[in-house]
Amino acid sequence: MPDDFLIARNPDEESTLPYLIRIPLGPNGIVVKAKEMWPRTSKVYCHRAEAWPADADVLERVPTRVCVSRGASIELVLDRGRENRSQFVLTRAKGRPVIFWQSARTAKQARPNVRLPTARPATSEPAHLEVLVDSHERYAWRFSHQQVVTAARHLDVGDYAVEADGSVVAAVERKSLEDLVSSLLNGTLRYALAELSGIPRAAVVVEERYSRIFSLTYVRPAVVADAIGECQARHPSVPIIFAETRALAQEWTYRFLAAARHEVSLEGAAADELGALVPAGPLPPAPEPTRTRRSPRTSQPGDRPETAVVRAWAVGQGFDIADRGRLRPEVWLAWQEAHPATSPTAST
């Protein structure tokens, strides 16, 4: 029967991992430092400790039903009704060994029950999309699940990119949550976003859920959330995508790069078609508009005289005429009788 499962307070006050966990496996057990007392909402990061202290401040002691090693994991079943099944996974991250403590609930959240498609994007014209991978990228994505041919090359901006006519037309910067937080706090992400905004299509992809920000313990979550909002508002053309897992981040990047390359090619074709309609060379200047003066019109037989002329004649003849307004019919009739050769038929 395994020993009890023990949780104590870490005596090292400078450590960012406040708890000590004694896993009842082996003659002396395995002692690790942990961030949480149980993996309730997400996986708990753990780190190996030297030994269990003799004067440990034990916070919780639980009898153990099962504690066995299965490959790279340790299966643990505690003798209690709730929060009784968990697993310690031994793996490597960035070249060093790490331990993650997870329950069935957090493992399901970390590995969403989705099935990634195998069909190539509808916007991808070649059978295999050529993706450029920055030569400085450590543990780069292989895109083994997608129809991709990768080529390592030094990239001035981004970690993954596609080209058109020898120029980078789309790029993606890949971030883990820890890398994202670090680059936000030291300001390097702002410079990276400024560089990414200089190419036609770009994005930042995070291999984690957005909700994980609010479970951070070594930094205030509100500070990180505010910094993300500020960066997105300053560079709206470069979205920051939280893709939940490494596999989903890789899938999103593949689809985005294929669609971006297709979109840029459509823009180039439209520009070429427009250029064919517009003559080459600078357009001649438009002639300035000129105003022409009307030559005075000569009177023709039968033309109706101007009202002012008739008014002046009628006043001279003794008619009672107002200074403004229409002339009475009898005035026009008198004018026509006095000028039969130049007057048309009288009208009101």
Mean pLDDT for 309-328 is: 81
Tokens found for residue 28: 């002396």
pLDDT per residue as tens digits for the range 57-91? 999 999 999 999 988 889 999 999 888 999 998 88
Of 153, 89, 146, 84, the closest CA to residue 120 belongs to 146
Six-digit token pair at 249?
């981040």
The helix or strand, by DSSP H or E, that contains position 169, with its residue range, turns out to be strand 167-175
Q: How large a percentage of the chain has pLDDT more than 90?
A: 41
Task: State the pTM of this model.
Answer: 0.50
Distance CA 173, CA 91 (A): 24
Which of left, alpha, beta for 317 (phi over 0: left; psi -120 to 50: alpha)? alpha
Higher pLDDT, 58 or 126: 58
pLDDT tens digits for range 157-202: 999 999 988 899 999 999 999 899 999 999 999 999 999 999 999 9
CB 333 within 8 A of CB 345: no
DSSP code per residue over 175-216: E-HHHHHHHHHHSHHHHHHHHHTTSSEEEEEESS-GGGGGG-
pLDDT for 195: 93
pLDDT confidence tier of residue 348, bands split at 50, 70 and 90: very low
Q: What is the pLDDT confidence band of residue 319, given thresholds at 50, 70 and 90? A: confident
